[in-house]
Structure 1
Amino acid sequence: MHPGGADILDFLDFVWQRREEVLQRSLEHVGLVAAAVALSAVLGVLLGLLTYRNATARTAVIAATGTFLTIPSFALFVLLLGIVGLGTAPVVIALTMYGLLPVVRNTVTGLLQVDPAIVESAQGMGLSRRQRLLQIELPIAWPVVLTGIRVSTVVLVGIAAIGAIVNGPGLGHFIFNGLARVATPVAVDLVLTGIVGVVIVAILFDAVFTLLGKLTTSEGLR
């Protein structure tokens, strides 16, 4: 058998022998990212809604959320460690911060792209400012907003793996355990298990958002 094929079979056997832990860590990773995405989506859309009509405010919010992405993840996790301790909390907070920019930016962009004539027509029909926003502007902007949430999710799936440094849940444990055992027979398999798991989770999340987009967007806006 070709050596490469043997390596792949050995790796698959390694994963199978640890299938329960792999499944557990994968579910932890999914739950961790889902929680952070939910928080960043709610906060990001809200910030976009509150600031998109004011150029100064929206520029400030986009700049502030963009600044979060310039903070190295290792540093941010360690900083939050001193505030909220080990475990899930620092990872969820950090991921939420990292996930804000794509959501805020796309919310603002989507709302600003709504044809003013449509908004004026709705106003002429007697709809209040809130009704126009919720019934007209936000539904039209939704595909752009959802794209921002989707991009944020894929980014967070990768960053979440680093959360293992502060004992956060997820597939990052395989990667860090492998790095801690460099030069041992299982090191590469551990790291690969974590990496492959993260990639699969990212693909699954992307598929979910593709389906969600089809279910929540009218045919005329796709």
Structure 2
Amino acid sequence: MSFWDYVTSRWDLLLFETYQHASMVFQCVLLATVIGLAVAVATYRTSWLANLATGTASVIFTIPSFAMFGLMIPVFGLGVVPSVVALTLYALLPIIRNCIVGLSGVDPAMVDAARGMGMSRAMVLARVELPLAWPVILTGVRVSTMLTMGVAAIAAYVSGPGLGDEIFSGLARLGGANALNAALAGTLGIILLALLFDAAYILIGRLTTSRGLRV
């Protein structure tokens, strides 16, 4: 069977797995963004705390992906939960680092001017620091999404959803009928999703960033 015949014969399943993959990545990155931004806001004003947050996220990121997913099994079992937990942990590093860099890079003179106008610390953060740091923060989220997109394929190791099932099943029976087609379909699906997500981030950046802050 040719690759095209394989895709057309399994079109509904491939579409469903693609949706699952995209949904899982989106939810994990969104959760990691909320956590990462909260960590950055709590630590960026104190150097050693910022270094501790970045260092902890870096250590987590260095854990081999198979080991990370394997460590989730005794705690969360198989399925969606261990997949989401592992991917969220992997997604934290670029987000935390860029959030801290972006917030720390805001001109102190602008912060002082805002405080001089009577703004509280929370108002300065919401109206001055976060908008100015947004391009750097968005870049971190974008990088995190691209990294998570690939690692999400390994979620199939813990019976997680997504296109990883196509890749794993194909590689497990290399030499058999449609084995290469399955692996190729999963791989190309992930590449296509990564390109679509990246294009979406470019559009979001253009719509939410003032011209003066665009790089």
Q: 2:56 aligns with which of 50, 64, 69?
A: 64
Matched position secondary structure for 1:69:
helix
- Quote the residue 2:184 is aligned against: 192
- Following the alignment from structure 2 to structure 1, what is the Cα–Cα distance between the partners of residues 38 and 206? 23
1:116 aligns with 2:137: no
1:126 to 96, 107, 118: 118
Match of residue 47, structure 1, among 30, 33, 39: 39
Query: Which digits, 9 at most, give the CA deviation of each residue in 1:109-130, with x for residues without a partner?
Result: 1111111111111111111111
1:201 counterpart (193, 196, 204): 193
Counterpart of 2:147 in structure 1 is: 155
Equivalent in the alignment of 2:25: 33
What's the CA shift string for 1:36-66, capped at 9, x where partnerless? 0011000001111110000010000100000
Letter in 2 for 1:119: V
d(CA) in 2 for partners of 1:182, 1:61: 42
Letter in 1 for 2:186: G
The yes-or-no answer on 1:210 pairing with 2:208 is no
Paired residue secondary structure (1:127): coil
Identity across aligned pairs (percent)?
46
Are 2:93 and 1:101 aligned?
yes
Number of aligned pairs?
Answer: 214
Q: Which amino acid aligns with 1:62?
A: T
- The amino acid of 1:90's aligned partner reads P
The letter of the residue matching 1:70 is T
Between the aligned partners of 1:110 and 1:87, the Cα distance in structure 2 is 36
Matched, 1:137 2:141: no
Q: CA RMSD in A?
A: 1.0
- Structure 1 runs of 4+ with >6 Å offset: none
TM-score, normalising length from structure 2? 0.98
* Residue of structure 2 equivalent to 1:4: none
- The residue that corresponds to 1:83 in the other structure is 75
Aligned equivalents of 2:19 and 2:99: distance in 1? 29
2:57 alignment partner AA: T
1-structure distance, mates of 2:177, 2:10: 15
Give, as a single letter, the amino acid of the residue that structure 1 aligns with 2:105: Q
1:185 CA drift (Å): 2.6
Which residue is 1:3 aligned to?
Answer: none
**Could you report, residue by residue, the CA deviation over 1:116-171 in whole angstroms, capped at 9, with x for unpaired residues?**
11111111111111111110011000000000000000000000000001100000
Shift in Å, 1:87:
0.4
CA deviations on 1:10-35 (whole Å, 9 max, x unpaired) are 21221111100100000000111011
Structure 1 CA distance for aligned equivalents of residues 20 and 96 of structure 2: 26
Read off the aligned partner of 2:49 and give its amino acid letter: A
User: What is the CA distance between 1:183 and its match in structure 2?
Assistant: 1.1
Gapped regions of structure 1 (runs ≥ 5):
1-6
Q: Point out where structure 2 has 5 or more consecutive residues left out of the alignment.
A: none
